[in-house]
Amino acid sequence: MKKLVFPHPLVLLLLCIIVAALASYVVPAGQFDRTINEQTGREVVVPGSYHKVDASPVGFFQTLVAVPLGLERAASVVFLVFIVGGAFVVIDKTGALNSGMEYLVKRLESKEMLVIPISILVFASLGALQNFQEEIIPLVPILLILCRRLGFDNLTAAAISIGAAMVGSSFSPMNPFQVGIAQKLADLPLLSGGGFRLIFLLIAIGVYMIIVWRRALKTRIAPERGGIEIVVGNQISTSQRLILVILMLTFTFFVVGVIFWGWGFQEMSAAFLLSGIICGLIGGLKVRGTAEAFVSGFQEMAYAGILIGFASGIFVVLEQGLIIDSIVHNLFSSISSLPKELSLTGITFIHTLIHFPVPSVSGHAVLTLPILVPLSDLMGVSRQVTVLCYQYGAGMGEFLTPTNGALMAILAAASVPFNQWFKFALKVYGALIALGLIAIYLAMYIGL
């Protein structure tokens, strides 16, 4: 029996765009009325306002135009990927990364396996606090070097970073872009049910650690050595030490800027541009060498940037075809009459399905919660439980969604084929969505 082989990621995303365009000819066009929610300041749908509209099928050439339109919409993320890639090639050419990682590996001798739980805990915390995803892209080169030096494969690097962050955001009691927006839309106090969520967050992180740990042990190979053998404390030059300090300061400002200063992707890009220039000059690359290293980095990250644009193009087509609202309306209407347990299970899985065409967790929330809150009131289910269904269904759906531009970019940067990731992610999804359903049923029975 032949193994299932996924197409090339670009082919896969282009097929998704084509399927979305074909769906615009089959799925009846429809829309909800929308209004501005005073609490969130976001445009949300008006419950019960769904109505059919004139069909707007997306033609062949219009489908192709969706790709550059997707790139345009995701421009800030794409440029961040390019600039970060350039900055890291600059830093790599100074030899600082190689020397620093060799030093770190020697210090971790006989303690290598601590890297996995510590990294998962750190990235899960970042996901829980701030829904970190695109922000992980700059860390990929460092994570790859570290994992290779310790004998772990590239998928492990992706699993302990983007995977852990998605677990953290999915089960978070405070993620402002997911549970925070959802609770506002459901007229619930912010952080309500926080203790309950925190318990299941800790359980989810523990389960995920076990899954990743077991896989890492099975796939571990002989550690990859760098081209420079060093003696701890002896071989890292003063300029390389300074470069590593600048890199750490860049990441510090990066995190602080995002969390406390409201930084967007443009500010992040500027921080790495400045860091790359300074490190190149300190590392002896001079102006021309620094510029050439940036160009090399742009070339290496072009593929990851294009993937983000293709993923965004899928939503462009669905939006132009006026069928996103129809899909949401039809999916939720089909299960509203089922028993509570079955309805909640169905709603959770439907959130996973909806996350494919709507890969933004905040966009997903403002589209679905105004519909589901009145539905949950009619079903006699608490709004907190409704938010949990959205949180776990959409959050864990991120693992499987090729339309998630950040995930695809990180996998491309780490040279991890999507089919390899999908096989791993399916196991994670199965285990953690089961945990999520247990939490949902328990919350329903205890009246959360």
Q: Which amino acid is at 385?
A: V
Instruction: Look at residue 336 in the predicted model and tell me its pLDDT.
Output: 67
Element (H, E) at 130: helix 115-130
In a domain, 354, yes or no: yes
Q: How far apart are CA 115 and CA 375, in angstroms?
A: 45
Q: How far apart are CA 403 and CA 395, in angstroms?
A: 14
Report whether 337 contacts 354 (CB < 8 A). no
Q: What is the rounded average pLDDT of the residues 358-378?
A: 80
Report whether 275 contacts 87 (CB < 8 A). yes
Residues of the domain holding 122: 36-49+64-446
Instruction: Look at residue 386 in the predicted model and tell me its pLDDT.
Output: 92
In a domain, 7, yes or no: no
Instruction: Look at residue 304 in the predicted model and tell me its pLDDT.
Output: 75
In a domain, 146, yes or no: yes
DSSP-derived secondary structure letter, 74: T
Instruction: Look at residue 223 in the predicted model and tell me its pLDDT.
Output: 67
Q: Which of 405, 360, 338, 339 is nearest to 75 (CA)?
A: 405
Per the model's pLDDT, the better-predicted residue between 321 and 339 turns out to be 321
Q: What is the rounded average pLDDT of the residues 294-310?
A: 82
Could you tell me the pLDDT band of residue 441, with boundaries at 50, 70 and 90?
very high
Could you tell me the pLDDT band of residue 227, with boundaries at 50, 70 and 90?
very low
Indicate if the pLDDT at residue 445 is higher than 60.
yes
In a domain, 398, yes or no: yes
SS3 41: coil
Indicate if the pLDDT at residue 369 is higher than 90.
no
Q: Which of 167, 85, 135 is nearest to 425 (CA)?
A: 167
Could you tell me the pLDDT band of residue 147, with boundaries at 50, 70 and 90?
confident
pLDDT in tens, 66-83: 989 988 887 887 888 788
Instruction: Look at residue 232 in the predicted model and tell me its pLDDT.
Output: 39
* 426: Cα within 13 Å, side-chain hemisphere: 6
Q: How far apart are CA 144 and CA 135, in angstroms?
A: 16
Q: Is 187 left (phi over 0), alpha (psi -120 to 50) or beta?
A: left
* 350: Cα within 13 Å, side-chain hemisphere: 22
Indicate if the pLDDT at residue 59 is higher than 60.
yes
Instruction: Look at residue 207 in the predicted model and tell me its pLDDT.
Output: 97
pLDDT in tens, 265-288: 788 889 889 999 999 999 888 999
Could you tell me the pLDDT band of residue 4, with boundaries at 50, 70 and 90?
low
Report whether 13 contacts 313 (CB < 8 A). yes
Q: What is the rounded average pLDDT of the residues 70-97?
A: 83
Indicate if the pLDDT at residue 388 is higher than 90.
yes
Strands 30-31 and 43-45: unpaired
CA 138 to chain centre: 13
DSSP-derived secondary structure letter, 162: I
Q: How far apart are CA 115 and CA 56, in angstroms?
A: 51
Q: How far apart are CA 353 and CA 373, in angstroms?
A: 19
- Angle between helices 238-260 and 115-130 in degrees, nearest 10: 40
- Winning range, highest mean pLDDT, from 128-132, 150-154, 159-163: 159-163
Q: How many domains does the chain have?
A: 1
Instruction: Look at residue 406 in the predicted model and tell me its pLDDT.
Output: 82
pLDDT in tens, 159-193: 999 999 999 999 999 887 788 888 888 888 878 88
Instruction: Look at residue 335 in the predicted model and tell me its pLDDT.
Output: 76
DSSP-derived secondary structure letter, 222: P
Instruction: Look at residue 368 in the predicted model and tell me its pLDDT.
Output: 84
Q: Which of 30, 29, 34, 27 is nearest to 370 (CA)?
A: 34
Element (H, E) at 34: strand 34-36
Q: How far apart are CA 93 and CA 257, in angstroms?
A: 27
Q: How far apart are CA 357 and CA 402, in angstroms?
A: 10
Q: Where are the alpha helices (DSSP H) in 30-158?
A: 60-73, 75-93, 96-107, 115-130, 140-150, 154-158
Indicate if the pLDDT at residue 230 is higher than 70.
no
Could you tell me the pLDDT band of residue 61, with boundaries at 50, 70 and 90?
very high
In a domain, 249, yes or no: yes
In a domain, 386, yes or no: yes
In a domain, 55, yes or no: no
DSSP-derived secondary structure letter, 4: P
Locate 369 and state its tokens: 């919660």
Q: What is the rounded average pLDDT of the residues 280-304?
A: 87
Q: How far apart are CA 110 and CA 81, in angstroms?
A: 35
439 class by beta-carbon count within 10 Å (0-12 exposed, 13-18 middle, 19+ buried): buried
Measured over the CA atoms of residue 5, residue 7, residue 8 and residue 13, the dihedral's sign is: negative
Q: How far apart are CA 311 and CA 403, in angstroms?
A: 5
In a domain, 2, yes or no: no
Report whether 313 contacts 58 (CB < 8 A). no
Instruction: Look at residue 5 in the predicted model and tell me its pLDDT.
Output: 62
> Mean pLDDT over all residues of the chain?
84
Residue count (the chain): 448
Q: How far apart are CA 223 and CA 149, in angstroms?
A: 5
pLDDT in tens, 5-50: 667 777 878 888 898 899 999 999 988 888 887 766 767 778 778 8
Please give the backbone phi and psi of residue 447, each rounded to the nearest 5 degrees, phi first.
75, 40
Question: Cβ neighbours of residue 274 under 8 Å, at least 6 residues apart?
Answer: none
Could you tell me the pLDDT band of residue 328, with boundaries at 50, 70 and 90?
confident
Instruction: Look at residue 231 in the predicted model and tell me its pLDDT.
Output: 37
Q: Whole-model pTM?
A: 0.76
